Amino acid sequence: MALRRHFLLAATLTLPALRRAAAEPVARLGLLHLNDFHAKHDGLQAGGAACRDGAPCLGGSARLASALDLLEAEAAAARRPVLRLDAGDQFTGSLFHTAHHGAAEAAVQRATGTQAMALGNHEFDGGPARLAAYAGMVPFPLLSANLDASAEPLLAGLVRGHAVFTLGSVRIGVIGLTTETTPEASSPGPTLRFTEAAAAAERSIAAIRAEGPAVILLLSHLGLAADRALAARLPGVDVIVGGHSHTLLADLPGAQGPSPTLIEGPDRLVRIVQAGAFGRWAGRLDLELGADGRVLGHGGRVLPVTPELPEAPRVAAIVENYRLPLAALRAQAVGRAAEALSNAGCRVAECRLGSLVAEAMLAAAPGAEIALTNAGGLRAGLPAGAISLGEVLEVLPFGNTLARLTLRGGDLRAALEIGLSRVEQGGGGFPQVAGLRLRFDPAAPAGQRLREVLVAENGGFHPLDDARAYRLVTNDFNRRGGDGYAPFRDAALEAYDNGAPLEEVVAVYLAADGAARTVLDGRIARVAR
C-alpha cells in the first residue's frame, strides 16, 4: 500500500494535470537539511581521518556552504522558498570545538543561514554553561520539546519546544526533539531532565494546530529507528528531519534507504530524511502543500559534498580565522602508523583503532587487568604515516581522563551486556577492550547476548569469574555511568577518575610504536548462526 501511494504521489509531482482541483497545492517549499556535523569544519577523508595535503577531502564547512547554496538556487529556479534546518550535534568531534567551545560552529551557522536547530545530545557535552554561551551566539531558535530546563537558570528562555514559520498562507510548525538518553551519553549535569519524546511532540502539535492549520515537521535527534516508530505511532506528523544515527537516506551508492523514507502514520504518510553525518552530504526535500497544511507530494535530492564543489569564500575565511590558533597543536608529532586506522565499524565490532586506544589505556595503568572504552568516544580515524597530537585529539576530543575501578566479575558481565545492548543501532556504548576476549550473539535479546567472556591471566585466557574482583581501567565518562555503564558507577568497590588525559595516554602509546603492535586478533567475535 505504501509503495503504491508513493508512486501516486510521484505522479502528482510530474503530471500536475492529473491532480484533482481539491488537491491542488497552494504552496511549495524546500527544506535544506543537515545533521551531526560534529565540528568537522576542515572535512575529513573517506575513512574518517583528518584531511591532509594530497588526500581527497570530503565535506568541510566551506564546501558544505556551497552545497547548500546550490540546493537553494535549484529550489529558487522552481520558485520554491527554503527553510534551512539542522537536526543537531554540531558540537564535539574536532579541535575546532575542543579549542573554541562552539564559537566556530555558531559563526559558520550564522554565515550559512541556519533557521532552526534541534539540540542533539552532544550539545550538552560542556554542560549548561557551554550551551548557554552558544545560544547567545546564534540568531535562530534552538529547539527541544522534551527538554525540561526549568531548574537550570543558565538556560532560561534560550531553548524552545517549537517554532512556527509562515509561508504565504501556510504555517510550518517545527518541533525539536532530543535524545532521551542524553544523561547517559553526554554531560548535561543534574539540573536538566529529558522527557519522553512522543508525549512532548504531541503537546507541541496540539499547541501549533490550536492556532490554525499547519505542516508539522519534527526536527529530531532521536535516530532513524526511533523516528520510524514515532512516524507510525504519532498522528499529525508530516515530515521528520532526523539525526543522531548518522544514517544516509539517499538515492546514492551505500545509502541505507531512500530519501525520503516513507512510513504510513496513523492518519497520513510521513516522510523521513537524514543526511549521513560530518557535513559529507546536504539534503533538500521539496514539498507540495495543500491549504490545510497537508503534504500532497515531494521531490528533492541529497548532494554529496565532494572536492569538486568550490569553497564558499565567506565561510572559508571564517574557518581560517578559527583554524590559526590550532596550528601549533596540530603539528606536534607523536608517532606513526603503517596504515590508516578508521573508526568506521567500531560501534559494531572489533576495530584496530578501538583496540589501540584500549591497549594504550591498559599500558598506562600498571596493575590493571582489563581496559574498556566506548566506541562512541572515537570521533575520527587516524591516517597512515606520521600522526600528530592534533590528529589524536580529533579521535578523542572530549577531554576525558583515565579512570580506575575495581569490579566484581558479575558486574563486569552486566556492564558488557549494556555495551552490547544497542549494537543493532550502532550504539556508542559498544565496548572496545584489552585484556578480554568476548563472543556475543547480536540476534539474541538485549541483556542476553554474551556467550563467552575470557580474561587474560598467567599467559592465557580464562573464563570470567563472577565472584572475583577485577582491576579495570576505562575513561571517566564511562566510569561515571556514561553510555549506560551504570555498574561502573554503582557497583565499583573502589574508583578513581582523575587520571592522565586520554589523548596523552594514546600519544605516549603511539610514540612507543603502539600502532604497529595493535592488530585484529579476534578479541571481539560474533557468534555464527
Three-state DSSP string of 414-471: HHHHHHHCCHHHCCCCCEEEECEEEEECCCCCCCCCEEEEEEEECCEEEECCCCCEEE
Q: Hey, what's the torsion of the CAs at 275, 66, 177, 182, to 10 degrees?
A: 80
Strand (E) or helix (H) holding 209: helix 197-209
pLDDT tens digits, the chain, 529 residues: what are they?
333 333 223 333 332 222 333 467 889 999 999 999 999 999 988 877 777 777 788 999 999 999 999 999 999 999 999 999 999 999 988 889 988 999 999 999 999 999 999 999 999 989 999 999 999 999 999 999 999 999 999 999 999 999 999 987 789 999 999 999 898 878 899 999 999 999 999 999 999 999 999 999 999 999 999 999 999 999 999 999 999 988 999 999 999 999 999 999 999 999 999 999 999 999 999 999 988 889 999 999 999 999 999 999 999 999 999 999 988 877 888 999 999 999 999 999 999 999 999 999 999 999 999 999 999 999 999 999 999 998 998 899 887 889 999 999 999 999 999 999 999 889 999 999 999 999 999 999 999 999 999 999 998 999 999 999 999 999 989 998 999 999 999 999 999 887 788 998 999 999 999 888 888 999 999 997 6
Q: Domains of the chain (ranges plus CATH)?
A: 29-285+295-322 (3.60.21.10), 332-526 (3.90.780.10)
Q: Give the pLDDT confidence score for residue 98 in this predicted structure.
A: 83
Q: Hey, what's the torsion of the CAs at 54, 351, 346, 283, to 10 degrees?
A: 30
Strand (E) or helix (H) holding 183: helix 182-185
CA distance linking residue 59 with residue 309, whole number of Å: 9
CA distance linking residue 97 with residue 397, whole number of Å: 8
CA distance linking residue 59 with residue 41, whole number of Å: 8
Residue matched to cell numbers 608529532: 333
Q: Give the pLDDT confidence score for residue 23 in this predicted structure.
A: 64
* φ, ψ for residue 221, nearest 5 deg: -110, 55
Q: Which residues are within 8 A (CB) of 167 and not within 5 positions of it... i.e. 6 or more apart?
A: 27, 29, 81, 289
Measured CA angle at 391 (ends 365, 472), to 5 deg: 20
Residue-level length of the chain: 529
Q: How many Cβ atoms from other residues are within 10 Å of residue 265's Cβ?
A: 18
**Beta-bridge partner residues of 453:** 438
Instruction: Decide if 241 contacts 33 (C-beta within 8 A).
Output: yes
